[in-house]
Amino acid sequence: SQQGEEDPQALSIQEGENATMNCSYKTSINNLQWYRQNSGRGLVHLILIRSNEREKHSGRLRVTLDTSKKSSSLLITASRAADTASYFCATELRSGGGADGLTFGKGTHLIIQP
Amino acid sequence: KAGVTQTPRYLIKTRGQQVTLSCSPISGHRSVSWYQQTPGQGLQFLFEYFSETQRNKGNFPGRFSGRQFSNSRSEMNVSTLELGDSALYLCASSRTGTVNYGYTFGSGTRLTVV
């Protein structure tokens, strides 16, 4: 079953604009991660935020986590054509380097128009 | 350093056959997990191995199995293939410990069952 649900399912914006994707999940988590996937290839890890963190930045990425609402958002600023991809949130129930595996949402397909 | 290597990249099999997929993790990563990605079900956790032991398994039938070798390389096997097993199979490796730094995924093996 899906733990995370991304919103929107698809998003099309102009290059240079900001893109915001949201993710909701159902159970308590240890951490939440965001991944990018280009054209059905492998997933690329973008950022990880732990359950005791509220906000994290990495380059043009900003992630927030609200554990009371069981939701997270990913903001990509100053979008580029190369940001066109599918973005997935994934939750991990406990630490330990992978014992529980990741539970993924269905993803948001982001299209950046030149 | 080398990334996660999955072989083969593409595979076409006939219903009823069996298939073995291979994954070589990043050097030093001892946890290897497997995921199935389909358009209908999205990304789903198959199982995770650490030090040659399966620590967790997702909700898949017994036809799906795996193993890990002493060098951390992992294989997954699907027996008696069904059309619904057509999917992108992704392998991910991670560091171990009490803090998770995210996963590194391979490019995947695209399996088509005809």
A17 contacts A76 by C-beta, under 8 angstroms: no
- As a whole number of angstroms, the distance between CA B41 and CA B32 comes to 22
CB contact under 8 A, B108 and A42: yes
**Given CB atoms, is A34 within the 8 Å cutoff of chain B?**
no
Specify whether the CB–CB gap between B45 and B63 falls below 8 A: no
Q: Give mean pLDDT, residues B27-37.
A: 93
How far apart are alpha carbons B51 and B73 in whole angstroms? 10
In angstroms, the separation between the Cα of residue A110 and the nearest Cα of chain B is 17
Under 8 Å between Cβ of A105 and A4? yes
Instruction: Judge: B102–A106 Cβ closer than 8 Å, yes or no.
Output: no
Question: pLDDT by residue (tens digit) across A17-42?
Answer: 999 999 999 988 889 999 999 987 88
Across A47-59, average pLDDT: 95
